[in-house]
Amino acid sequence: MPGTSAGSHRYQHFYMGVSDPSPGMPDFTARGYVDDQQILHYDSKTRRQEPRGDWVQRAVRPDFWDRETRSLQGWQGVFQSNLVTLRYRYNQTGGSHTLQFMYGCELHEHNSTGGHMLFGYDGEDFISYDLRTRTWVAAPTQAESTQSRWNKDKALLQDARSYLEETCIEWLRKYLQHGEAALQSKHPMAQVSDRPSQDGRTTLSCRVHDFYPRDVAVVWLKNGEVQPETNRAGVLPSGDGTYQTWATIEIDPSSNHNYTCSVEHESLGAALRVSWDKGQTESNWVLIMGITFGVLLVIATMSAVANFFCLREPAPSPEGPMEKERK
């Protein structure tokens, strides 16, 4: 998560309930994120709200975890009953269905703020809160009765506005402050490796990891000159509050040029430079690719399990998205 001094930041929560989950998968999950870093986790198997990172534990009072656990256990029950309600509204008799709730807030560079609350069903919008009009807006016709009922509830409308404009922003500032203090000036580590590629050429890879904040510049130099053909990967969270990325370049291994990976980051007084050693073995590349592929696989799996993704904190109380309907 970037520092608090510049840029925009987000604090978001994502809840998802599944009517017929796959074996081994929870039927309810709740995750909280600051920017792209997960900081909170709950699921129906552990039935416990847990921090992701030591600094998150220190950012809240000791009774926070028990209080939030009770709240999320309530949400879990609400989601189960609402999935029954939604299958009735959509005239569905079987199959696996999902209910999603995404909410959160944004803090922009000049202290302007924004927020959102959205319920979805089977990956499609169901009903959302419009912060500009301060009303709930139905997407499909099946949500119109919920829209009418919620817009008549002045206390519910006030709670949604108050959470997005005030409570959520306060928690975002708190987490940014604690996260920045815990991770500030985390300088990058760099590793250089090589592997054979097509037509007798060699691919050089520079993996850069364990740095914070997120912004970093990684380039390959040939005899001290920047190479525009450097291929750069995106910057990914490592799961511990730091980030990682890598850059590659294809070269003729028979040439006598000197190749160096150059890393610039605000935690460094001067660029970090690591030269390619022609004596390196391919096994180093296999190890590094295994590490980075593992991170990508985790991220891809999380995205597949949660086809909305993100969110949560002293959340709106578990008022059901729809009251249970009976024939």
Residue 58: per-residue pLDDT: 86
Q: Percent of the chain, pLDDT > 70?
A: 82
- The 10s digit of each residue's pLDDT in 219-248 is 999 999 999 888 999 998 887 778 899 999
What is the C-alpha to C-alpha distance for residues 108 and 131, in angstroms, rounded to an integer? Answer: 16
Confidence of residue 7 (pLDDT cuts 50, 70, 90): confident
The verdict on whether omega for the bond into residue 213 sits within 30 degrees of 0, i.e. cis, is yes
Residue 289 has pLDDT above 80, yes or no: no
Q: What angle do CA 151, 157, 158 make, to 5 degrees?
A: 155
Q: Which residue has the higher pLDDT, 133 or 306?
A: 133
Residue 5 has pLDDT above 60, yes or no: no
What is the C-alpha to C-alpha distance for residues 100 and 312, in angstroms, rounded to an integer? Answer: 13
Residue 35 has pLDDT above 50, yes or no: yes
* Domains of the chain, earliest start first: 9-183 (3.30.500.10), 189-303 (2.60.40.10)
Confidence of residue 52 (pLDDT cuts 50, 70, 90): confident
- The 10s digit of each residue's pLDDT in 53-99 is 788 988 899 999 999 999 999 999 999 999 999 999 999 988 999 99
Task: Please state the rounded mean pLDDT for residues 273-290.
Answer: 60
Q: What separation in angstroms does the CA of 56 have from each of 16, 67, 186, 190?
A: 22, 16, 17, 27
Q: Which residue has the higher pLDDT, 240 or 264?
A: 264
CA dihedral of residues 132, 133, 138, 144 (deg, nearest 10): 170
262 and 246 in contact (C-beta within 8 Å)? no
- What single letter denotes the amino acid at residue 222? K
106 and 115 in contact (C-beta within 8 Å)? yes
Residue 183: per-residue pLDDT: 66
Residue 101 has pLDDT above 50, yes or no: yes
Confidence of residue 47 (pLDDT cuts 50, 70, 90): very high
What is the C-alpha to C-alpha distance for residues 158 and 165, in angstroms, rounded to an integer? Answer: 11
Place of tokens 């990682």: 244
What is the C-alpha to C-alpha distance for residues 150 and 135, in angstroms, rounded to an integer? Answer: 8
What is the C-alpha to C-alpha distance for residues 186 and 167, in angstroms, rounded to an integer? Answer: 30
Rg of the chain, C-alpha, whole Å: 24
- The 10s digit of each residue's pLDDT in 170-222 is 999 999 988 877 766 688 999 999 999 888 899 999 999 999 888 999 999 99
Residue 212: per-residue pLDDT: 84
Residue 290: per-residue pLDDT: 46
Place of tokens 């593992």: 294
- The 10s digit of each residue's pLDDT in 105-160 is 999 988 899 999 999 999 999 999 999 999 999 999 999 999 999 999 999 999 99
DSSP 3-state of 276: coil
Q: pTM, whole model, 2 decimals? A: 0.67
